[in-house]
């Protein structure tokens, strides 16, 4: 079943990239949010703001629009083309009326979000989710090979039993530290060669919602970079 504009929730973050120019050009990316659908092929979205100012997108301009949609425990990435039909102001909100061109396509997860998503992680096995109980436990360094809004996959050189609680610090490319507590829900042996012999699936059990949003934004940006390289073909 294909996704429709009416399936997109109000407030969903959108990224708009202009279709003009060549692949080698550095194109601006505008951040917007979905407001509501106007029938099957049209919708109203917020006008993007950059450096504190409204960006006057031209009528008739075509954009590639990407967004994440949570389906069960998964975050799926979608993409569609749209043209700006009108610029409107409703209840003091600056909005754009867009018309969808073609179908909304789900980008298959196997085609992206692999090597380029590796980021540094510090972790430690903890006694309980309480800072007072964990202050004397040292952190260990590793990397994650998979990242989502629901958890991460750690590459390890030690065995950790499912059910174990961890305190983790995730470091994105901008050196932003995202701290959370997680629980090992899966553990597997991934090989005898190389630095990492094991992998653990860690689900978030205590994470600030702002931190979770930062994780999702980071995923969104990495996926958009890969889409730009043509990994969705």
> Phi/psi at 216 (nearest 5 deg)?
-65, -40
- The answer for 52, left when phi > 0, alpha when psi is -120 to 50, beta otherwise, is left
Mean pLDDT of 48-65: 88
Q: What is the pLDDT of residues 130-178, one digit of tens each?
A: 666 667 788 999 998 777 777 888 999 999 999 999 999 988 766 678 8
pLDDT of residue 233: 41
CA distance 46 to 198: 45
My answer on whether 102 and 187 are in the same domain is: no
Query: What phi and psi values does residue 30 have, to the nearest 5 degrees?
Result: -105, 140
Mean pLDDT over 46-58 rounds to: 85
Query: Is 128 found in the same domain as 98?
Result: no
Bridging pattern class, strands 53-54 and 49-50: antiparallel
Q: Is residue 231 part of a domain?
A: no
* Domain coverage including residue 80: 5-107
Q: Are 19 and 62 spatial neighbours (Cβ–Cβ below 8 Å)?
A: yes
pTM: 0.53
The CATH number of whichever domain residue 19 belongs to comes to 2.30.110.10
Among 52, 76, 107, the domain-final residue is 107
For residue 123, tell me if it sits in a domain. Answer: yes
Q: Which of 44-53, 111-120, 123-132, 177-186 has the lowest mean pLDDT?
A: 111-120
Assigned domain for 164 exists: yes
24's CB contacts (< 8 A; 6+ apart) are none
What are the beta bridge partners of residue 129?
A: none
Confidence band of 115 (pLDDT split at 50, 70, 90): very low
What is the count of structural domains for the chain? 2
Strand partners, 86: 97
User: 163 in a domain, yes or no?
Assistant: yes
Under the banding of pLDDT at 50, 70 and 90, the label for residue 45 is very high
Point out the domain boundary residue: 107, 141, 176.
107
Query: Tens digit of pLDDT for each residue in 30-44?
Result: 888 999 999 899 999
Per-residue pLDDT at 125: 92
What is the rounded distance in angstroms from the CA atom of residue 9 to the CA atom of residue 20?
Answer: 28
Convert the pLDDT of each residue in 70-81 to its tens digit: 766 566 778 899
Range in 108-112, 129-133, 196-200, 214-218 the model is least confident about: 108-112
Average of per-residue pLDDT values in the chain = 81
- Answer for the pair 55, 21: CB distance below 8 angstroms, yes or no: no
Q: pLDDT value at position 116? A: 40
Of 82, 55, 66, which is closest to residue 221 (Cα–Cα)? 66
Supply the DSSP string of 167-199, one letter for each residue: EEEEE-TT--EEEEEEEEEEEEE--SSSS--EE
Q: Sign (positive/negative) of CA torsion 118, 119, 124, 128?
A: negative
Higher pLDDT residue, 144 or 24?
144
> Tokens in use for 12?
């969903």
- Which residue has better confidence, 192 or 31? 31
Share of the chain above pLDDT 70, in %: 80
């Amino acid at each position: 079943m294909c996704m429709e504009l009416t399936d997109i929730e109000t407030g969903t973050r959108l990224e708009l990239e202009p279709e003009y120019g060549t692949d080698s050009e550095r194109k601006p990316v505008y951040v917007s949010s979905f407001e509501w659908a106007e029938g099957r092929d049209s919708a109203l979205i917020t006008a993007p703001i950059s450096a504190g100012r409204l960006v006057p997108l031209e009528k008739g301009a075509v954009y590639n629009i990407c967004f994440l949609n949570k389906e069960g425990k998964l975050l799926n990435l979608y993409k569609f083309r749209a043209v700006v039909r009108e610029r409107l102001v409703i209840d003091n909100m600056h909005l754009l009326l867009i018309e969808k061109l073609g179908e909304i396509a789900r980008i298959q997860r196997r085609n992206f979000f692999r090597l380029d998503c590796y980021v540094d992680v510090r972790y430690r096995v903890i006694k309980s989710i309480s800072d007072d109980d964990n202050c004397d436990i040292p952190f260990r360094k590793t990397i994650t090979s998979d990242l989502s809004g629901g958890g991460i996959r750690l590459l390890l050189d030690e065995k950790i039993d499912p059910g174990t609680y961890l305190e983790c610090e995730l470091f994105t490319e901008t050196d932003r530290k995202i701290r959370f507590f997680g629980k090992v829900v899966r553990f597997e042996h991934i090989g005898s060669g190389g630095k990492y012999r094991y992998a653990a699936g860690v689900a978030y059990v205590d994470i600030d919602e702002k931190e979770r949003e930062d994780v999702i934004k980071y995923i969104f940006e990495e996926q958009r970079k890969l889409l730009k390289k043509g990994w969705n073909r």
